[in-house]
Structure formats: C-alpha cells, structure tokens
Amino acid sequence: MIMKKLWKMAPVATLLVGMMAAPLTQAEDVVKIGVAGPHTGAYAAFGEQLWKGAEAAANDINEAGGIDGKKIELVKADDACEPKQAVSVANRLVDNDKVVAVVGHFCSSSTMPASEIYDEANIIDITPASTNPQVTERGLKTIMRTCGRDDQQGNVAGDYIVNQLKAKKVAVIHDKDTYGQGLADATKARMNELGLEEVLYEGLTRGEKDFNALVTKIKSVDADVVYFGGLHSEAGPLVRQLREQGSKATFISGDGIVSEDFVVAAGGGEFVDGVLSTFGRDPRTIPEGKAVVDKFKAAGYEPEGYTLYSYAAMQAIADAIKGSGSTDGDKLTAWLESNGADTVMGKKEWDEKGDLKVSDYVMYRWDKDGKYTMIEE
C-alpha cells in the first residue's frame, strides 16, 4: 500500500533529482554574463528595461567582434525584487551558470544581499539602477554602479527647491520603499541643511491608485512644492489627483518617474505639464548615445528609465574584460576604477567604493506633450 504510494511519487522525485543534477555544459568560446532583475511581480516593467539594455549592448558588442573574439552570452535571472529570490538567483548565477560578471539587480533590497554573494565569489556586479547609498557603503570590493546615488540626486533636487524655486512650503512624499524613501530622505536632508523645513513628510503605499486623501492633506497645508520619492506608477496618479483637486504646487521627483509610462500613468500630457525631475545627462546629447537611442527606436522600443544605464553597465564590463585581460572580480573593478569606461552615457569614472565620480544629475522639465527637456542653468 505504502509502496504503491511511493511508486506514484517516483516520477516527481526523478524529475526533481534530474533537474538538480542536470549538468551544465560550458563552452569555452563565450563570456557568460548574468542579467538579474525582476521579471515577474510588481516591478517587472523595470526588469524588462534592464534586460533590453543589456541585451542590446551584448548584441552590439558581439556584432563588433565580441570580447577578444569571444561572444557574450547572457543569462537572464529573475529575482521578483524579493531578497530571498535574489539570494537564490545570485547563487545560481555563480554556481550553476558560472557567469563571470553580473549586470543587476534592480531593487536596492535585492542588490544588497546578492552583492554579498558575488563578492564572496569574486565576481564583478554592476547595478544600473540601485541608487541606495548603502549598496556601495558596505566595504564590498566587486560592486559598482552606473547610476548615481540617492544622496547625489537628493542634493541636486534639494538645491533646486531652495535656490531656484525659492519654495516656502514643501511637502515631501515617498513610497515607503528602499529607493523612494531613500531619495526623499536625501532631498529632505539637503533642504534642511539649507534651512528649509518641510511642512509635510509622509509615505504612501505602493500599488495603490487612490491618493486623494493625501492630496487633500497636501492642499490643506498649502504646499507650493511637492517632492515625491518613488516610481512613475505612483507618481502618475498622485500628480493627476493633485491637479484634479485644483492644486498648483510644483511637482518634483527623481529618476524613478522618468519614463513614458509616467505620462500614461498620469492620464495624459496635460497632467504632467510643468513637472520637474532629476535625471542623468540626456544620452541623446552624446553622439554615441544618439546612435544607440536611434537604433532602439528603430527596433520599436523606447529606451527609457534604466535601459541605457544597463547598456552602459554591459559596455563597462566588456571594456574591463578586454582591458585587464582577466575575469577576476577584483582586477576588473580595479581596472575600471583606474581607467574608467566610454559608455553610451559618456565617459564614466568610478571611485574606490564603486560609485560614479561625477554625478551628472540635472533637472528636467516635462511639457504638455509629455516630453521632457533639460533645463539649461
């Protein structure tokens, strides 16, 4: 009776054992690079940006002859922005797929535990999107980023609010998430440093669409500037409801909203008219960048958000492998820190922590057509 039952379980068991033991053949003439980000769950849209950027970069590098004749082979890894899964996929990339470098992860809360694993395995990890200062502050050698830090971005926003907008009453709103709250806190800290206290500091819940109560509250404190730390999926409805309730406060946010989807989420260009956001220097103003952007557009994909950061991360890795002639994590980071890399977003240079030396955050203004342009100082 019990044997019969065990017999029934046998196929399941064999399947599992088979999968666990599946040997992974590794060809010698490819360079395996992992691309880790959320491909399922609430943040899947950003995982797609990371993947598209890395994929395009890898294709372009391969077309140009690869890395010293070796083709780049990408391994897609899904962490769903859960630290638990991030640890799993990091170990999988290191142990099963034997990648030599990783582009990723997206959420800072995933990047942090995963980078510990890459560091222990001595594999370079360049994150195109995790802007939380803690990511590079933990003494790990092999972690770098192609995006700025929240504190750099917060400084730009804080300065702008105080010096350019000459704001009196600022409401600071965040989305209670690693990125959003980090950014809001950085901006708030800068504002306070310059002697401006916020009149409201509150967090909304990611995934919700109704912020009317919060908007009414913002109105009730007569805020003339609303700073939002978070992503476009919440920024859109927030700015829309702000305008619908008749508030004329200036809306400022960070790179998390810079995406066509922001206009979509807000329900049209008329709602985002006049919105300000900090973002890296526009790659379209750089010659190489323009070519890549045009190529993306020709393929029917708008390279927005972190796509180009991911592209740049892949370029940096390829450059470092070429330049140092090694795949050793320590050597690659050391090479990048001393030489820098020419990327689609211009020449990038890193300090010893793995942060960009020059933060190139600038302020953009959105117009009623839903396009954003750099504000000339």
Partner 1 sequence: MAGHAGILINSKSILLQKTFRCSTMESHILGQQLVNGLALGSIYGLIAVGYTMVYGIIGMINFAHGDIYMVAAYITAICIAVLSFFGINTVAIVLLITLAVTIFIIALYGWSIERVAYKPLRNSTRLAPLISAIGVSLILQNYVQVSQGARTQAVPTMIQGAFRFGSETDFFQITYIQTLLVVVSFLSMGILTWIIQKTSLGRQCRAVQQDRKMASLLGINTDRIISTVFIMGSSMAAVAGVLVTLNYGSFDFYIGFVTGIKAFTAAVLGGIGSLPGAMLGGIILGMSESLFSGLVNTDYKDVFAFSLLVLVLIFRPSGLLGKPAVEKV
Partner 2 sequence: MLGTAHDNPKVAALKEALLSAAITFLVMAPISGIVLKGYAFEADFTVPVYAALIVFVLRLAILLLEQNETGRKILVRLSPSKGGGVTVAKPGGVPWLRFILPLLFIAGLVLPFFLGKYWLTVVILAMIYVLLGLGLNIVVGLAGLLDLGFVAFYAVGAYMFALGSQYWGLGFWTALPLAAATAALFGGMLGFPVLRMHGDYLAIVTLGFGEIIRLVLNNWTSFTGGPNGVSAPNPTLFNLEFSRSAKIEGNIPFHEFFGIPYDSSLKYLFIYMVLFLVVCAMIYFVNRLRLMPMGRAWEALREDEIACRSMGINHVTVKLSAFMMGAMTGGIGGVFFAAYQGFVNPSSFTFFESALILAIVVLGGMGSVVGVIIAALVLTILPEALRDFADYRVLIFGILMVVMMIWKPRGLIRIHRPYFRVKGGKA
For partner 2, the binding residues (CB under 8 A) are 2, 5, 9, 12, 15-16, 19-20, 39-41, 76-78, 80-84, 87-89, 91-92, 94-96, 108-109, 112-113, 116-117, 120-121, 132, 134, 138, 176-178, 181-182, 203, 264
CB 194 within 8 A of CB 166: no
Of 232 and 353, which CB lies nearer to partner 1 in the complex structure?
232
In the complex, least distance from residue 132 CB atom to partner 2, rounded to whole angstroms: 7
**Residue 209 interface partner, choices partner 2, partner 1, none, CB cut-off 5-8 Å depending on type:** partner 1
Query: With contact defined as beta carbons under 8 Å apart, do 116 and 134 qualify?
Result: no
CA distances from 308 to 102, 177, 241, 302, 304 (A): 16, 23, 31, 10, 7
Picked from partner 2, partner 1, none, the partner binding residue 60 (CB below 5 to 8 A depending on kind) is: none
Q: How far is the CA of 374 from the CAs of 284, 303, 312, in angstroms?
A: 11, 17, 21
Cβ closest to partner 2, residue 156 vs residue 263: 263
CA distance 252 to 342: 31
| Neighbouring C-beta atoms of residue 341, cutoff 10 Å | 21
Closest approach of partner 1 to the CB of residue 206, in Å = 8
234-257 exposure pattern, b = at least 16 Cβ within 10 A, e = fewer? bbbbbbbbbbeeebebbbbbbbbb
Q: Which is nearer to partner 1, 145 or 240 (CB)?
A: 240
Which residue lies nearer to partner 2 by CB, 39 or 353?
39
User: What does 276 interact with, of partner 1, partner 2, none (CB < 5 to 8 A by kind)?
Assistant: none
| Residue 202 binding partner per list partner 1, partner 2, none, with a CB distance cut-off of 5 to 8 Å that depends on partner kind | partner 1
Among residues 32 and 232, whose Cβ is nearest to partner 1? 232
Query: Minimal distance in Å, beta carbon 181 to partner 2?
Result: 6
CA distances from 8 to 15, 20, 102 (A): 13, 20, 41
Instruction: State the nearest-atom distance from the C-beta of 300 to partner 2, in Å.
Output: 10
The contact set with partner 1 (CB under 8 A) reads 40-42, 44-45, 47-48, 176, 202-205, 207-210, 212-214, 216-217, 219-220, 232-233, 236-237, 240, 244-246, 261, 264-268
Tell me the closest approach of the beta carbon of residue 25 to partner 2, in angstroms. Answer: 14
Nearest-approach distance from CB 170 to partner 1, in angstroms: 16
Pairing of strands 225-229, 143-145: unpaired
Looking at the Cβ atoms of 205 and 285, the one nearer to partner 1 is: 205
The distance of closest approach from Cβ of residue 96 to partner 1 in the complex, given in angstroms and rounded to an integer, is 24
| Binding site partner of 313, from partner 1, partner 2, none, Cβ cut-off 5-8 A by kind | none
Classify burial at 189, counting beta carbons within 10 Å of its beta carbon; exposed 0-12, middle 13-18, buried 19 or more: middle
In the bound state with partner 1, the residue whose beta carbon lies nearer, of 182 and 354, is: 182
What residues form DSSP beta bridges with 77? 36
Q: Could you give the CA distance from residue 264 to residue 276 in angstroms, rounded to a whole number?
A: 16
Burial of 300 (0-12, 13-18, 19+ CB in 10 A): exposed
219 binds, among partner 2, partner 1, none (CB under 5 to 8 A by kind): partner 1
Residue 261 CB partners (closer than 8 Å, separation 6+): 45, 232, 233, 236, 304
Q: Give dist(CA 306, CA 198) in Å, integer.
A: 30
* Residue 218 binding result from partner 2, partner 1, none, given CB thresholds of 5 to 8 Å by partner type: none
Tokens 């582009």, located at residue: 103
Beta bridge partners of 75: 34
Q: Which does 246 bind (CB under 5 to 8 A by kind): partner 1, partner 2, none?
A: partner 1
Q: Which is nearer to partner 2, 130 or 315 (CB)?
A: 130
CB atoms within 10 A of CB 299: 10
Of 264, 222, 221, give the one whose Cα is nearest residue 239: 264
Select the binding partner of residue 232 from partner 1, partner 2, none (C-beta < 5 to 8 A, by kind).
partner 1
Nearer to partner 1, 48 or 224 (CB): 48
